[in-house]
Structure 1
Amino acid sequence: MMKLYTSPTTPFGRKVRLVSALKGLDDQIEVIRADTNPPGNAELMTQNPLGKIPVLILDDGTRLFDSRVICEYLDRLGPDNSPQLIPTAGDERWKTLTRASLADGIAEAGVLIYYEGLYRNESQRNADWVARQQSKVDAGLDYFEQDPPGKNATPDYADISLAAAVGHLDLRHGGRWRNNRPQLVAWLDRFSTAVPAYALTSPPT
């Protein structure tokens, strides 16, 4: 059985778990809660020298990271009757990967803002840096508001990446992203209905 090192709150681990569910692979993956902070991260460091999650350990011991690599591996591993989440060639592949990268960038900036508040005393926080990260989040979300996902009958990898990103914004930033973005809010409602795993992977509050 494969092993997935992750955390309930990381949007990148959640993205992998959503892909696993849509590909019908959950019964082949053991989810292991990983600690990314020392000294509890000693085991994780043996799996990924960067000490970052998620990490997928294959049956033969091969280690895959980061989430983008893991998701593409799982998409190709899934049974023939499972939906293809990442096109293998052509313009649609590059469009899907580009939109997924934008969603990942939103998630990354959101995580950095959260960590700035979590790990730095108020006097040490860099307001200008936080504002730059927030501008990335806002610009990315505005892009998707103007060109909403969900045009395919089945959610694709870009849709999954965005759902994980805004889920993290709901968790860590009070859902403020929803203000003045009705297209995205409506899309997420449809996504969560179409993908039961979205509720099942919802992080604890």
Structure 2
Amino acid sequence: MKLHWSPRSPFVRKVMIVLREKGMLDEVECVRSVVAFAAMPNQDLLSDNPLNKIPTLVLDDGRSLFDSRVICEYLDATGGGPRLLPEAGDARFAQLRWQALGDGLTDVLLLWRSELTRPNGISEILPKAFESKVRAAMARLNAEADQLDSAAFGLGHVAIICALGQLDFRYLENHWRQAFPNLAKWHAKVLARPSVNATVPKDDVSPGAVSATFDPNKPVIDFMSSQA
């Protein structure tokens, strides 16, 4: 199989965690695929995914799967080891709900970063709206940290881990661990998991992989500050 991949993408990271959890890492060739929100499509990727998004998984028979939720569920169903998405019952819907919350938080963080890099400047309302949603999502996760800890590791956990990883990767000095100590305690525990520790996002020097234009050392959000 071929995976259109990037070490920066939180949604690609979801797939990489699942591949490791299911013992399938050696079955996939990772191909560095550069995509950007405000750029022309990557033609190599476009032939496998008309939406021009990563991750995209190309199966051995030529079929392609996208997005991360579809890919992860496919890998979970075909790989070995315990199921990351229970087949039925409350446990299944708990994982699906957490996956929706984690993926949604990641979406907001990615859109916020795109807004911060706009050449024509930042709109007035969007950063406030993004910050409000991020704070609310983090507060909900902090309130549910004990449930996350007691539940069997699943796709919902994977999505939340990747959202928090994006927060650490692109939004420096935000103090989320001090503001949400229950969530921080759970995250520190799960970070010791080999599949999680091995997939921490990082920059690379692939052609076309250009860093953001905003100052990465200037905090965008500080969870310890009062909310307007």
Q: TM-score, normalising length from structure 1?
A: 0.91
Per-residue deviation, residues 162-195 of structure 1 (Å, max 9, x unmatched): 00110011000015232310111111111011x2
2:130 is aligned, of 128, 133, 155, to 133
Per-residue deviation, residues 81-114 of structure 1 (Å, max 9, x unmatched): x021001112221121011101101000001111
Aligned pairs (5 A) from 1:28-177: 28-37=27-36, 38=39, 41-79=42-80, 82-118=81-117, 120-121=118-119, 124-148=121-145, 149-152=148-151, 154-174=152-172, 176=174, 177=176
Report deviation, 1:40. 6.9
Q: Residues 5 and 54 of structure 1 are in contact (CA less than 8 Å); yes or no, is this contact kept in structure 2?
A: yes
Per-residue deviation, residues 49-73 of structure 1 (Å, max 9, x unmatched): 1111100001101100000000000
Q: Percent identity?
A: 37
Q: Residues 99 and 159 of structure 2 are in contact (CA less than 8 Å); yes or no, is this contact kept in structure 1?
A: yes
Report deviation, 1:151. 1.2
Amino acid at match of 1:34: S
Amino acid at match of 2:202: P
Q: Distance in 1 between matches of 2:173 and 2:14?
A: 18
Report deviation, 1:197. 2.2
The root-mean-square deviation of aligned C-alpha atoms, in Å, is 1.5
Q: Which runs of 5+ in 2 are unaligned?
A: 204-228
Q: Distance in 2 between matches of 1:95 and 1:39?
A: 38
Change (3 A) 1:175 1:161: farther
Pairs aligned (count): 198
Q: Distance in 1 between matches of 2:124 and 2:79?
A: 44
Report deviation, 1:204. 1.8
What SS does the aligned partner of 1:4 have? strand
Amino acid at match of 2:44: E
Report deviation, 1:39. 5.4
Change (3 A) 1:69 1:44: same
Amino acid at match of 1:58: L
Q: Which residue of 2 aligns with 1:200?
A: 198
What SS does the aligned partner of 1:35 have? coil
What SS does the aligned partner of 2:47 have? helix
Amino acid at match of 1:124: G
Q: Which runs of 5+ in 1 are unaligned?
A: none
Per-residue deviation, residues 99-135 of structure 1 (Å, max 9, x unmatched): 11011010000011111112x13x5311311211121
Q: Distance in 2 between matches of 1:51 and 1:175?
A: 32
Q: Residues 14 and 158 of structure 2 are in contact (CA less than 8 Å); yes or no, is this contact kept in structure 1?
A: yes
Structure ranking higher in helix proportion: 1
Asked if 1:22 is matched to 2:21, the reply is yes
Moved over 4 A (4+): none
Q: Residues 5 and 31 of structure 1 are in contact (CA less than 8 Å); yes or no, is this contact kept in structure 2?
A: yes
